[in-house]
A = this chain, B = another copy of it.
Amino acid sequence: MDLRALAACQHQVDIDLGERSYPIVIGSGLLGDPAVYAGLPKARAALIVTNTTVEPLYAARLQAALAPHYPQVHLVALPDGEAHKDWQTLNQIFDTLLGQGCDRKTVLFALGGGVVGDMTGFAAACYMRGVPFVQVPTTLLSQVDSSVGGKTAINHPLGKNMIGAFYQPQLVVCDIDTLTTLPARELAAGLAEVIKYGPIADMEFLGWLEDNLDALLAGDKAALAHAVKRSVEIKAWVVSQDEREGGLRAVLNFGHTFGHAMEAGMGYGVWLHGEGVAAGMVMAARLSRRLGLVDEEFVQRLIRLIDRAGLPTRGAIIASRDNAGHYLQHMRVDKKAEGGEIRFVLIAEPGKAVVRSAPDSLVREIIDVCCR
């Protein structure tokens, strides 16, 4: 084994939230290593929550790694996909916990992507009013975004992530190896959230992404580990400033206001979350441009990178009549909206985001231009 190569893809990032602080470990071969889980709270039982796609790939390996630490390691495999991020599926976790007589020291492990992580985290927040949990994200999107920061939720028919909690994990284990089994479409969708960190916080990182995009798409582990590490560092810094999304944290939603409207408008699961975010970033960048905040070269640079990643650069058409009106309607029920006023995350200057409102007429214009 080349130890230098190994060292190059082993990282640790600490999320500083006082007594709710926790480490994120990033690297190769972590998921199946019992030593990774040695410092967790002791309990009689652990429950691995995964989905039917991830289970055959990694569940047995995680189960074996947890066996030295917990007398009982239970497992529940949920149906796969955003369409199942609902109460009914969440309840499968509670049914398993109660059916197995799990007490309130039980540790939950979320093994899978963002949907599994969000649901497991919310189940952990609610089960007996709170049990410890660990994120073991197996998709790029969940490694760089959803598994960090403690946002957990399920969807409601009238809105995405409407029912949830701020609840921090004990540990996040980002095993880069799991990204090699990821379908190309999902890897690309994850890159949308990676790309996001450039415009909002670090244009040097955007340059690095432009230089290393081919390596990332080819599954180069050192490149992936660096991309995950830098994304997580930026997110960790933002979250530690604003755990409960009072202000600053909203910048992490660059591209999400438009993206959520597309996801809700088409029905959850038609586009991947990252695909909505990708097209949403283009729309938010165009709105920033229209407001005179950035120049056309910045918009084009972002579009080129998103396009190279194989992601949509045009918004989805969610209604055959009055498409823009439908977007606005969805965006008004977004959690970020206040008093019916939509709050957009815009680029104030390359590398810096700002949250502000915009006139409906302008937003309609952008939607009409971007959704063709």
Could you tell me which A residues sit within 8 Å of B by CB distance? Answer: 44, 87, 91, 94-95, 98-99, 101, 103-105, 125-130, 151-153, 156, 158-159, 162-166, 244-245, 332-333, 335, 337-340
For A336, the closest partner residue in chain B by CB is B104
Alpha-carbon separation in the docked complex, A158 to B245 (Å): 35
Assess whether A156 is in contact with B94, with CB atoms less than 8 Å apart: yes
Assess whether B94 is in contact with A126, with CB atoms less than 8 Å apart: no
Assess whether A99 is in contact with B158, with CB atoms less than 8 Å apart: yes
User: A interface, by DSSP: helix, strand, loop or mixed?
Assistant: mixed
- Would you give the shortest CB distance from A88 to chain B, in whole angstroms? 9
Identify 5 new A-B residue pairs, CB closer than 8 A, beyond the known A98-B162, A103-B338: A94-B163, A101-B340, A126-B165, A129-B166, A130-B244
Q: Contact check: which of B104, B125, B166 meets A335 at CB < 8 Å?
A: B104
7 A-B contacts, Cβ less than 8 Å apart?
A98-B159, A101-B333, A103-B337, A104-B335, A128-B164, A128-B335, A129-B245
Contacts of A165 in B (CB 8 A): 125-126, 129-130, 165
Contacts of A333 in B (CB 8 A): 98, 101
Alpha-carbon separation in the docked complex, A91 to B155 (Å): 12
How many copies are assembled? 2
For A122, the closest partner residue in chain B by CB is B126
The CB with the most chain B CB atoms within 10 A, among A101, A105, A129, A339, is that of A129
Given contact pairs A44-B339, A333-B101, A335-B104, A94 touches B129 in the complex (Cβ within 8 A): no
Given contact pairs A103-B338, A103-B339, A337-B103, A98 touches B130 in the complex (Cβ within 8 A): no
For A125, the closest partner residue in chain B by CB is B165
Alpha-carbon separation in the docked complex, A339 to B333 (Å): 43
For A123, the closest partner residue in chain B by CB is B163
Assess whether A162 is in contact with B128, with CB atoms less than 8 Å apart: yes
Alpha-carbon separation in the docked complex, A103 to B127 (Å): 26
Given contact pairs A87-B87, A103-B337, A129-B151, A94 touches B162 in the complex (Cβ within 8 A): yes
Q: Contact check: which of B158, B166, B337, B338 meets A98 at CB < 8 Å?
A: B158
